[in-house]
A and B are shown apart, each in its own frame.
Chain A
Amino acid sequence: MKPIDVKEQPILSAGRVFQIALSGVKYRLFRAAVTVAVITVAMAFLMNILTESLIKRAVADSVREQIEDLRTVDAWIAKLSIPQTTEEILEQIASVSQSELDLHELVHMSGKPSEALLAAEPVARDALFYLRFFNDMNFGRRRVLVGSAEATRIFDHLQTPAAWQTFTANLADMHTIRFPAAVEDFEAFLAAWPDLRSLVASVRDGQARAIRHVQRNLGDTPLAQALRAADGPFGEVLREAGFALSERQAATLSTEVERLEAIQRIEGTINNPGIRQAVAADRDVLPGDVSMQLIWGLLRQRDRSEWFYDLMAEHGLNVDQLSPQRIEELAAHQGHVRLLKIAERQTTGAGGGFMDIGPRMTWLAMVSMLVCAVGITNAMLMSVTERFREIATLKCLGALDGFIMVVFLIEAGILGIVGGIGGAIIGLLLGFVRMLFTFQSLAFNAFPLTQLLYAGLISIGLGMILAAVAAVYPSMRAARLAPMEAMRIE
């Protein structure tokens, strides 16, 4: 037999392969456009989720302080009415080294030196940690472990040797429970608990004393009204009683209280039939349809606020310290507060997960990736199967299996990049417009440009990778076929 003089086929240069792939894409522009559309939609979905989440998170970060300010008044009224719960005090102690003010207040309330409080900080943190474990546990199991004790009473309960014995024995028997720390650590914590408990109790006593002191000073004045002078004499009273009140908090408190008072007065006008009818006539609606939101919207215009001010005076309402300008300001503030509340509602659950967009959004993004992987695989599979004849012909002409695979991978990559760019742009625009409708002016406050750029790059890269990965199987199948089998299938 003659020796085999057949050699191996040379491998084509990358440039030539790319050229062939590109001319193929150009020729089947319509088919390619459909595939690109699939990728675009999938990537737009992903990019949309990323954009909205990132903007939401940025907005949440930027408004957190303002939202806290909104709550200051309520928080202080609560603080000045009854002592805090044990858990609240524990939380305060657990982060005492973070805030000079808290430390100061706790020292004053408990009458203990600041060293003692700082020393109690890690114990308090442990206490919260164990509390969370016991709170999350189901009732039956907790009952087996610690009897009927609840919350911090659990620690008290476990102080007796008998209870501790039962606890450890039962814990060892319950294989489905994984105690979050070593039992020895818990034992050490329990030894330190009585001291912490007495510290908490002394803080509570101190708070009760301080509240009594404040109330004595108040006399008959309602607390809310007194807080108007938080940046003045009443602030001094609070400090004297032992509450840590920073300058900023004092200023926020008095402006907020004042504003709330004015807002209440304006919102009270809705119950005045004369004003209600006047507004209804002005807006050309039925008096029953006049809402506070409508009035506030109206008052944002200067001429309407002037008109409203006169209206209030006309109807014999109290207009002390009000002016058209002030009313307009309040209306603008109400609009802002409404936005803040929307922002707060919309941004719950932001943070954590992939790119810090929240676990739910991460999950959605993953599902969208899955969907687009399936879509792209389908598109590529179609594109490959409808070209079996071409593949077979190329193989007859001496194309290597590798060449055919690479051509399809390059094609998929090109489509993926184009689709990814398109999807990133569409998704970004859609997400931004939607967020603009939701948050309005707040959306501009903190525009996360760099992160959005990252998200765009991720979408484009992912589109390309997904397309290429999705094309691997179909092109492998096409390349492996004997040429005539491929033609027969068609």
Chain B
Amino acid sequence: MTATLPASPTIDPATSQRVIIRTVGMKKIYRRGEEITHALRGVDVEIYTGEFITVMGPSGSGKSTFFNMIGALDSPSEGRVFIDEVDVAQLTAEELAFLRCRKIGYIFQSYNLIQYMTALENVTTPMAFGGVSPDVARGRGMDLLDLVGLKPRWFHRPIEMSGGQQQRVAIARALANQPSILLCDEPTANLDHRTGDEILDILQKLNKERGVTIICATHDHRMMNICDRLMWIRDGGIERIARRDEVQVEVGSIE
């Protein structure tokens, strides 16, 4: 199988950036009884370190499936996913846990905080899984909460916080083990305009200052202004990938 793979360069000659996520012929088929759904029909894509990519597409287009695949949360029916040049399919359960814990940070539309933990505990849980000692984890957790502006509320539980605050805790949690990739699944969908802006600011800051690769599925058009590349997914395939400047020219021309 490995022999038949196309020799793909790890360095894109144009930008001299390293490839961090690469998918080769990625397909996902869901079977429910007789009914067969092709959620993804062979996706080949390369994402570079330090990029801010926005993935757009109507609901049911396979956007979330794509997300789960590149986030090592689900396994493709066919094809391969390489994260940092590691074939995800070859990892054991323990190694997968390691990968999810340290390489990738996840941000969900519905925050998915652990309800019975305080903000700080939520942030330090991935550190605990990663083997960081409780004292160190506490210090780092406070720093991260400070980064998202929630340091004074470290002892609050999710139900005591607003949606925006919860999402900020989720961002702090995603950053717990200094991941190189941040996967955001509609991070602003459940938030009002102003709070959404705050979240976008934080994401942009992370991308620019820390060089975190951010892949963001969204319907939010404000994302377009801060991303490097845009990707459209339709019917389980990539419809189009474009740089932001190209798109903005188009948008401008329509106006």
Contacts and interface: CB of A to CB of B under 8 A. Distances in A.
B91 interface: yes
Nearest to B130: A398
Contact of B173 (A6, A397, A483): A397
Contacts of B90: 4
Nearest to A401: B93
Given A9-B129, A396-B71, 10 more contacts: A6-B98, A9-B95, A9-B130, A390-B114, A390-B115, A398-B97, A398-B177, A399-B129, A483-B74, A483-B100
11 contacts: A1-B87, A4-B95, A9-B101, A397-B100, A398-B97, A398-B98, A398-B129, A398-B130, A399-B97, A399-B129, A482-B74
A397 B169 CA distance: 14
B75 interface: yes
Contacts of A2: 10, 84-86
A81 interface: no
Interface of A: 1-2, 4-10, 12, 16, 20, 23-24, 26-28, 389-390, 392-401, 403, 482-485
Q: What are the 4 closest A-B residue pairs judged by CB atoms, nearest first? A: A398-B101, A27-B116, A10-B131, A8-B94
B48 interface: no
A393 B94 contact: no
A398 B86 contact: no
A7 B73 CA distance: 18
Interface string B48-84: 0000000000000000000010010111000000001
Nearest to A25: B116
Given A2-B85, A8-B92, A390-B114, A398 B74 contact: no
B98 A9 contact: yes
A484 B74 contact: yes
A10 B73 contact: no
Contact of B112 (A9, A10, A393): A393
Contacts of B116: 23-24, 26-28
A338 to B, nearest CB: 59
Interface string B165-185: 000000001001100000000
A361 to B, nearest CB: 42
Contact of A484 (B2, B68, B91, B121): B68
Contacts of A28: 116
A482 B130 CA distance: 19
Interface of B: 2, 10, 68, 71, 73-75, 84-87, 90-95, 97-103, 106, 108, 112-117, 121, 125-126, 128-131, 134, 173, 176-177
Give the most central of B73, B84, B97, B115: most A CB within 10 Å. B97
A6 B114 contact: no
B255 to A, nearest CB: 39
Contact of A482 (B73, B102, B121, B129): B73
Contacts of B115: 27, 390
Contacts of A398: 97-98, 100-102, 126, 129-130, 177
A396 B74 contact: no
Contacts of B113: 393
Given A2-B85, A27-B115, A484-B68, A12 B129 contact: yes
B73 A393 contact: no
B99 A6 contact: yes
B155 to A, nearest CB: 13
Contacts of B74: 482-485
A5 B108 CA distance: 27
Contact of A394 (B87, B114, B130): B114
A398 B2 CA distance: 28
B73 A396 contact: yes
A397 B86 contact: no
A394 B126 CA distance: 8
Given A4-B86, A482-B75, A389 B91 contact: no
Nearest to A390: B114
A400 B85 contact: no
Contacts of A26: 116
B72 to A, nearest CB: 9
Contacts of A16: 128, 134
A4 to B, nearest CB: 5
B138 to A, nearest CB: 13
The CB with the most chain A CB atoms within 10 A, among B10, B68, B71, B94, is that of B94
Contact of B93 (A389, A393, A400): A400
A4 B91 CA distance: 9
A224 B122 CA distance: 89
B114 A8 contact: no
Given A2-B86, A396-B73, A398-B100, A9 B94 contact: yes
A483 B64 CA distance: 13
B10 to A, nearest CB: 8
B173 to A, nearest CB: 7
Contact of B117 (A7, A23, A400): A23
Given A12-B129, A400-B94, A401-B93, A6 B75 contact: no
A480 B108 CA distance: 21
Nearest to B90: A4
Contacts of B92: 8
Nearest to A1: B85
B129 A8 contact: no
B97 A395 contact: yes
A23 B94 CA distance: 25
A401 B87 CA distance: 21
A27 B108 CA distance: 22
Contacts of B97: 9, 395, 398-400
B51 to A, nearest CB: 19
A365 B97 CA distance: 44
Contacts of A392: 112
B95 A8 contact: yes
Contacts of A27: 115-116
Nearest to B86: A4
Nearest to B106: A396
A10 B130 CA distance: 7
Contacts of B73: 396, 482-484
B125 A397 contact: yes
Contacts of A20: 125
Nearest to B10: A2
A485 B92 CA distance: 18
A10 B131 CA distance: 6
